[in-house]
Structure 1
Amino acid sequence: MHVLLIGLGNMGKKYLSKLEEMGKLPVLCDRDPNKAVGSYPFYCHFEEVKEPVKAVIVAVDPVEHVRLAKFFLESGASVLLEKPPALSKREFMEIYHYPTLYISEIESFSSCLDYFPKDVEEVHIERLGRGRGYLSPLWDLAWHDLYLLQLFFKDLQITSLKVGDVWHLEGRADGVPFSIKTAWEHPNPSRRWLINRGSLILDFAKEEVWKEGRLIHKESRDKLRLMVESFLSGNFDHRSKDRALKNLELLESLKAIDIS
């Protein structure tokens, strides 16, 4: 049985690198025939894959996510779907019920999460990226922070959104105020949570934790490899699709609030 990787763009190449490090010999699929790699079996059309497939990683334009995932879920394969998994809650519900569906949550493998405090007064989040994504900074970048917040809080609500070069979202998590600043192609990339007026900083880019201005934790951690290993071993968190569903509900709720 084989691992099938669909999509050899920026994220797909990163997945391929991890599979190679792990000694896996994947089957590859991409619309562009020029993206064939070495001697790996390669297809331009996923319906033509001949090898028996037990696990599928989908890293393509989100417009194609549900269609591709559904094809392989119906055959009984496990599917790891890049975020966002769909463009709407309604679309996502077409595949939500499959027990072997998992949604990418790379930041949930961060060591920083072990330092999230019990007593939280406020959380200010910076999710500022170098490159561009498919949809918007909110859907492509802040998505990470919305599923992470769900690990610690039950009730998330978005109360306002300001759109500009840097998008600024505000909300409440179990009554605790939080904000997310997010942007594409930012001159100062950052993936940090500043908790309780910055007295505690979780730096997801550097895997560092700072408390009262002092570095208390630093770790070199390959989060992508850990996620792929978890998926292929069958230990991936089944609740990832529940958090994805909640994310879609939150993002769709923006239609009902004033966006300035």
Structure 2
Amino acid sequence: MKPRIAVLGCGYWGSNHIRTLKALGALYAVSDANPARAEGFASEQECLAIAPDDLFSRDDIDAIVMALPPQFHAGTAIRAVESGKDVLVEKPVALTVADAERAVKAAHDHGRVYMVGHVLRFHPAFETLKALIDKGELGDVRYIHSHRLGLGKFHTENDALWDLAPHDLSMILAITGTEPLEVHGEGAAILDNLSDFAHLHMRFPHGLSGHLFASRLNPYRERRLTVVGTKAMAVFDDVEPWERKLAVYRHAVWQDSGQWAFTANEPSYVEVEQGMPLTRELEHFIQCIETRAEPRTDGNEAIMVLKVLTAGTVKHDKRRR
């Protein structure tokens, strides 16, 4: 019997969780501050609609997926794990590192699964890229940069960095296996006092550097992660079709008589198994509930990502209207 999972928060991303969990046979209930919205999804997906305050005392609910405004995540997660529920908390899991640490500690103290929704860690193209890196196909990784650009969405609490960068930071930290030694952030607020453009510059141990660019005010979409190694370079481009999502460039660079020379080669495209990252993420969550295994994207990762976001945040003065 599958775990009985409730989704708390029936907005845009919560609705994706609802439909995916229904397809996986694990959706038991939905809940939202707007009762009519919850009732609509309950009718559509043939599950229970439960008021948010009633979720935590229900013995028939094993776990809760939380897709709330981020300022509510930490307190709600603590309440859930103290009530004996496993949780998957969407990013960002809190607005401060201290709040995230309290939620993760509460889950540990009560023996509950705590997972963060860094969904791109479960993308088949990233999983394949990570496997190539682990096997040494790229050599020693020296530089990682990611671009996540597009138009919208605009939030009153989250700027471009906090809304868009967690996914890329999760992938970068998975590749490096450690948190950065130094973080420098730059941002530009165009619409109000929240950054619409954000750059992060990171320095890691062993001479590895990273760069992240996020924008919610860009005329075109870009979803690209590039890894530069001593043997080869790889690009995970999520805008490309499946057969071109993961490319490996085996360029050659060498010194000749004191001058640098290079040969540029055409990319080779790596075959990637097709699959929906959210489906794979929720399958992993269900497996962790059943086996009590530690999630791939656990609380420690959530805290590490928040530390980088906090270190790279640029404050802007409120603009005059």
TM-score of the aligned structures, taking structure 2 as reference length: 0.72
Whose radius of gyration is greater, 1 or 2? 2
CA distance in structure 1 between the partners assigned to 2:8 and 2:273 by the alignment? 31
Per-residue deviation, 1:133: 5.3
Secondary structure of the 2:19 match is helix
Report the CA distance shift for 1:193/1:27 in structure 2 as closer, same or farther (over 3 A).
same
Q: Which consecutive residues of structure 1, in runs of 5 or more, have no partner in the other structure?
A: none
Aligned to 1:144: 167
Say whether the 8 Å CA contact 1:105–1:240 is kept in structure 2: no
1:59-102 CA distance string (max 9 Å, x none): 01011101211111001111000011000011112211113211
CA distance in structure 2 between the partners assigned to 1:78 and 1:48 by the alignment? 12
CA RMSD of the aligned region, Å?
2.5
Identical-residue share of aligned pairs (%): 21
1:90-239 superposed matches below 5 A = 90-97=98-105, 98-99=107-108, 100-111=113-124, 112=126, 113-116=130-133, 117-132=138-153, 134=155, 135-153=158-176, 154-156=178-180, 157-164=182-189, 165-174=196-205, 175-196=207-228, 199-206=233-240, 208-212=245-249, 213-214=266-267, 215-234=269-288, 235=293, 237=295
Q: How many residues align?
A: 258
Per-residue deviation, 1:4: 0.9
1:40 aligns with 2:47: yes
Residue type of the alignment partner of 2:162: W
CA distance in structure 2 between the partners assigned to 1:102 and 1:178 by the alignment? 25
Secondary structure of the 1:86 match is coil
Say whether the 8 Å CA contact 1:55–1:77 is kept in structure 2: yes
Q: Which consecutive residues of structure 2, in runs of 5 or more, have no partner in the other structure?
A: 190-195, 250-265, 317-321
Per-residue deviation, 1:176: 1.6
Report the CA distance shift for 1:258/1:55 in structure 2 as closer, same or farther (over 3 A).
closer
CA distance in structure 1 between the partners assigned to 2:215 and 2:18 by the alignment? 27
Say whether the 8 Å CA contact 2:183–2:202 is kept in structure 1: yes
1:162-185 CA distance string (max 9 Å, x none): 325432221122232221110115
Residue type of the alignment partner of 1:201: V
Report the CA distance shift for 1:95/1:160 in structure 2 as closer, same or farther (over 3 A).
closer
Aligned to 2:95: 87
CA distance in structure 2 between the partners assigned to 1:103 and 1:242 by the alignment? 10
Secondary structure of the 1:103 match is strand
Say whether the 8 Å CA contact 2:6–2:27 is kept in structure 1: no
Per-residue deviation, 1:199: 4.0
Per-residue deviation, 1:25: 3.5
Report the CA distance shift for 1:145/1:225 in structure 2 as closer, same or farther (over 3 A).
same
Residues 21-30 or 196-205, more deviating: 196-205
User: Which of 232, 241, 245 is matched with 2:299 structurally?
Assistant: 241
Aligned to 2:4: 2
Aligned to 1:28: 30
Residue type of the alignment partner of 1:167: A
1:62 aligns with 2:70: yes
Residues 186-195 or 66-75, more deviating: 186-195
Residues 54-63 or 169-178, more deviating: 169-178
TM-score of the aligned structures, taking structure 1 as reference length: 0.88
Residues 214-223 or 195-204, more deviating: 195-204
Report the CA distance shift for 1:48/1:178 in structure 2 as closer, same or farther (over 3 A).
closer
CA distance in structure 2 between the partners assigned to 1:178 and 1:41 by the alignment? 45
